[in-house]
């Protein structure tokens, strides 16, 4: 049985719920918007035999401090949170990763503190040198939850996603994630990320000289594969791997863990 350690770590006025599991070289991985650390654990638990996995609930998410002010969800705030976690755990060098919103956090962290980063993992990047207009649909979705209730909203979504191939298990996973948060906090987070522009130019990424693994899937406007390709073109040591659609990853989180593990092992061989 893998032993976990839980921490409550301050980042300014915010309390972050942090959990580590496994022993070995550290990996910190930031979940996406409306995600939580428990889903990351489901994905990456199999790596715990070889790595120390650091997971946490982003500010305003799950068991971290609820935040209803969109002004407190700047990407720079998210980056400081990641830095404060690593400093609290006294970790000097780490493999940094994240998905969607978490990928933005991981990328900007890596640009700000490159000497602390051994490798960078970007899953389904959704932010770059311009706003992502698809976040507006997420805002409509969470506003519907606030106004109509989660049951009715998910019932409508399940019809739409079912036609696209989502299983009942996918919808169960989504419901668990949503119910783990304060909906007011998530609305504020979505309002903030709707305005995110994290890069002035992709040329900024030319300074990255550590290995970068990018994961992306097709047919998802919120996480456009063209954005992932732009990242790959802009980073000399970047590799892009197209992986199964997130419906498959929600259905069985260990699929991503297997892909992640193979990529990390390859990076370790090259370092």
Written as one string, the DSSP assignment of 184-236 is: HHHHHHHHHHTT----S-GGGGGG--S-EEEEE-SS-TTS-HHHHHHHHHH-T
Give the pair of three-digit tokens for residue 226: 């063209």
- pLDDT for residue 1: 61
Q: What is the pLDDT along the chain (271 residues), one digit of tens a residue?
A: 678 999 999 999 999 999 999 999 999 999 999 999 999 999 999 999 999 999 999 999 999 999 999 999 999 999 999 999 999 999 999 999 999 999 999 999 999 999 999 999 999 999 999 999 999 999 999 999 999 999 999 999 999 999 989 999 999 999 999 999 999 999 999 999 999 999 999 999 999 999 999 999 999 999 999 999 999 999 999 999 999 999 999 999 999 999 999 999 888 877 6
- pLDDT for residue 246: 93
> 216: closest CA among 133, 130, 99?
99
- pLDDT for residue 48: 93
Question: Would you mind telling me the total number of residues written for the chain in this entry?
Answer: 271
Q: Report all structural domains of the chain as residue ranges with CATH numbers, in order of start.
A: 4-270 (3.40.50.1820)
**What is the C-alpha separation between 18 and 34, in angstroms, rounded?**
16
Strand, helix or coil for residue 109:
helix
**What is the C-alpha separation between 147 and 123, in angstroms, rounded?**
31
**What is the C-alpha separation between 87 and 85, in angstroms, rounded?**
5
Residue 56, H or E segment: strand 51-56
The whole-model pTM stands at 0.96
- pLDDT for residue 227: 98
- pLDDT for residue 153: 93
Rounded to 5°, angle at Cα 196 from 223 and 174: 45
Give the pair of three-digit tokens for residue 180: 């783990």
- pLDDT for residue 3: 81
CA distance from start to end of the chain: 30
- pLDDT for residue 268: 82
Walk across the sheet containing 212-216 and list its strands. Answer: 4-11, 14-21, 51-56, 25-30, 94-99, 117-123, 212-216, 238-242
């Amino acid at each position: 049985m893998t032993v976990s350690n839980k921490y409550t770590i301050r980042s300014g006025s915010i309390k972050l719920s942090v959990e580590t599991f496994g022993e070995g070289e550290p990996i910190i991985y930031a979940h996406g918007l409306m995600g939580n650390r428990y889903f990351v654990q489901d994905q990456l638990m199999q790596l715990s035999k070889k790595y120390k996995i650091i997971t946490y609930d982003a500010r305003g998410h799950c068991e971290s401090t609820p935040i209803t002010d969109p002004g407190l969800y700047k990407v720079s705030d998210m980056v400081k949170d990641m830095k404060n976690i690593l400093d609290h755990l006294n970790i000097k060098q780490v493999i940094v990763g994240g998905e969607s919103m978490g990928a933005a956090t991981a990328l900007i962290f890596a640009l700000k503190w490159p000497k602390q980063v051994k490798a960078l993992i970007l899953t389904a990047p959704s932010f770059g040198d311009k706003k992502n207009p698809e976040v507006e649909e997420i805002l409509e979705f969470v506003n519907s939850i606030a106004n109509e209730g989660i049951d009715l909203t998910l019932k409508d979504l399940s019809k739409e996603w079912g036609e696209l191939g989502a299983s009942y298990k996918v919808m169960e996973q989504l419901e668990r994630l949503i119910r783990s948060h304060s909906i007011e906090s998530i609305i504020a987070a979505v309002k903030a990320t709707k305005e995110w522009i994290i890069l002035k130019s992709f040329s900024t990424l030319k300074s990255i000289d550590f290995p970068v693994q990018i994961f992306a899937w097709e047919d998802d406007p919120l996480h456009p594969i063209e954005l992932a390709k732009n990242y790959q073109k802009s980073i000399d040591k970047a590799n892009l791997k197209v992986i199964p659609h997130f419906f498959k990853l929600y259905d069985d989180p260990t699929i991503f863990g297997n892909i992640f593990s193979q990529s990390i092992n390859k990076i370790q061989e090259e370092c």
